[in-house]
Amino acid sequence: MDFYLGIDFGTSGARAVVIDEAAHIQAQVRYPWGADAELASSWQRALLTLLGEIPEELRRGMRAIAINGTSSTVLLCDGDGNPVDTPLLYNDGRGSSVLGELRDIAPPNHTVLSATSSLAKLRWMMQLPAFGEARYFLHQADWLAFLLHGQLGISDYHNALKLGYDVECLQYPEWLLGLQIPLELPKVLAPGTPIGELRPEISQQFLFPANCLVCAGTTDSIAAFLASGAKSPGEAVTSLGSTLVLKLLSRTRVEDARYGIYSHRLGDLWLTGGASNTGGAVLREFFSDAELENLSREIDAGKASELDYYPLLKVGERFPINDANLPPRLTPRPDHPVEFLHGLLESIARIETQGYELLQKLGADSLTQVYTAGGGAKNPTWTAIRQRNLQVPVISSMNTEAAYGTALLAMGGLGVGEEIIF
Ligand code: ADP
């Protein structure tokens, strides 16, 4: 039996999922972050611990491995792959000090023009004393994969998007050369592309076959999308977590910086989407999770609530309304909590519908089906309300774990199975 391993380096911990050729899960292991989650040495420890915890009979049949990291978590390393300084994590905003310079060279509204982009981080790192020792700039997923295959300077076009890599022409753009970066930018491969066999030390230590391949990885949010099961144009994944995040698979690339909309490449397709500030965090302001469950059961989902809210925690929205001064709208508040919750769920469902309408208006394929992930996915009343608003089937994701999506990527990279779009 052949097996495939996906490893997710996420915000709360690292996870590994092993699947078989039928994409069924055979094992899952977890490694929670301690206080030193920002150190590359702790990522390495997590990686090796996870490998060791996978049952030996699965390790012996492993054909391919892929890793996803958090988007824009980056580090500098020397010619042997040793980090020369502490990595910068996905949410590190110190790159804001170089945005003025980047604005002078990057096209207007480009995705690199954000304090947390990989390029802003790289430009910021250029003034570090240790920069002189650096030979390579890598993303978290690139470096962890290097530990397994031993080749430096390789990335994938999901991680490289916020470095400024042109995912349409598959090259670094001319304007990037204006920064005169004195080290090697990673060579960029399609996610899932086999890079090389495991280093012999690793395959011997963990009893993997010598010809087990390590594939180019991806980012955590794309891996979670891949896990959902969505694979055709028009299929989408709504994440109903603290915020509301929409992702729609399309044949056309859609970008609009005003709304924070951009597209990732997925083989011949594009994954476009946007993130609204509304979502479960507002529900949690008013209701416990148990109340959400119990009160939702009393709602008549077939009937539209007349209450027209814009649920936000604070002023300001980007998508699907671009207005930094948009105030939260949570009145009038009915006396009965069931009515109030109905109004909140209905209003968030309307914002979701408006979001997909905007993506389609900007050129994305027509919506055909919506998968759902996040805490709100387990609420059947909300699903029914959303389906009435969206007018397409709303179903649960096949799986919501990024590690599962990355295992599919490892399998798809070898051309096995049909679950993957690559
Ligand atoms: P995140 O990872 O973004 O913090 P989760 O995916 O864990 O969020 O989802 C948590 C959110 O789900 C909370 O904000 C909570 O309000 C919401 N939630 C939990 N249970 C329910 C429910 N039964 N119905 C609707 N929303 C729920």
| Per-residue exposure over 323-361, b if at least 16 CB sit within 10 Å of its own CB, e if not | eeeeebebeeeeeeeebbbbbbbbbbbbbbbebbebbbe
What is the full DSSP assignment across 337-395?
Answer: HHHHHHHHHHHHHHHHHHHHHHHHHTTPPPP-EEEEESGGGG-HHHHHHHHHHH-S-EE
Give the pLDDT confidence score for residue 415 in this predicted structure: 61
376 CB near ligand 1 (under 6 Å)? yes
**Over the stretch 8-31, which tens digit does the pLDDT of each residue have?**
999 889 999 999 999 999 999 999
Report how far ligand 1's centroid is from the alpha carbon of 312 (Å): 15
Specify the pairing of strand 154-156 against strand 187-189. Answer: parallel
Report how far ligand 1's centroid is from the alpha carbon of 160 (Å): 30
For helices 289-297 and 337-361, what crossing angle results, to 10°? 90
Taking the CA atoms of residue 110, residue 278, residue 224 and residue 193 in that order, the dihedral angle to the nearest 10 degrees is -10
- The residue-averaged pLDDT of 234-240 equals 96
Give the pLDDT confidence score for residue 419 in this predicted structure: 45
| pLDDT-based confidence at residue 249 (cuts at 50, 70, 90) | very high
- The residue-averaged pLDDT of 218-245 equals 94
What is the full DSSP assignment across 25-81?
Answer: EEEEEEEE--TTTT-HHHHHHHHHHHHHHS-HHHHTTEEEEEEEE-TT-EEEE-TTS
Give the pLDDT confidence score for residue 14 in this predicted structure: 97
| pLDDT-based confidence at residue 95 (cuts at 50, 70, 90) | very high
Instruction: Flag the least confident range among 258-262, 269-273, 385-389.
Output: 258-262
CB 88 within 8 A of CB 125: yes
**Over the stretch 312-339, which tens digit does the pLDDT of each residue have?**
999 999 999 999 999 999 999 999 999 9
CATH 3.30.420.40 maps onto the chain at 3-221+402-412, 230-396
Q: Is the pLDDT of residue 414 over 90?
A: no
Rg of the chain over all Cα atoms, to the nearest angstrom: 22
- The residue-averaged pLDDT of 343-353 equals 98
168 CB near ligand 1 (under 6 Å)? no
Cα–Cα distance between 135 and 75 in angstroms, integer? 11
CATH topology of domain 3-221+402-412: Nucleotidyltransferase; domain 5 (3.30.420)
CB 7 within 8 A of CB 67: yes
250 DSSP β-pair partners: 270
Specify the pairing of strand 62-69 against strand 3-9. Answer: parallel
- The residue-averaged pLDDT of 368-390 equals 96
| pLDDT-based confidence at residue 421 (cuts at 50, 70, 90) | low
Residue nearest to atom 4 of ligand 1 (CA): 242
Report the complex ipTM: 0.97
122: number of Cβ within 10 Å: 24
Cα–Cα distance between 210 and 150 in angstroms, integer? 14
Give the pLDDT confidence score for residue 12 in this predicted structure: 87
Report how far ligand 1's centroid is from the alpha carbon of 379 (Å): 10
Q: Which two tokens stand for residue 65?
A: 């491995």
CB 196 within 8 A of CB 66: no
Report how far ligand 1's centroid is from the alpha carbon of 242 (Å): 6
Ligand 1 mutation pick, 91, 221, 242, max ligand atoms within 8 A of CB = 242
**Over the stretch 31-89, which tens digit does the pLDDT of each residue have?**
999 988 899 999 999 999 999 999 999 999 999 999 999 999 999 999 999 999 999 99
**Over the stretch 144-193, which tens digit does the pLDDT of each residue have?**
999 999 999 999 999 999 999 999 999 999 999 888 999 989 999 999 99
Question: Yes or no: is domain 230-396 CATH 3.30.420.40?
Answer: yes
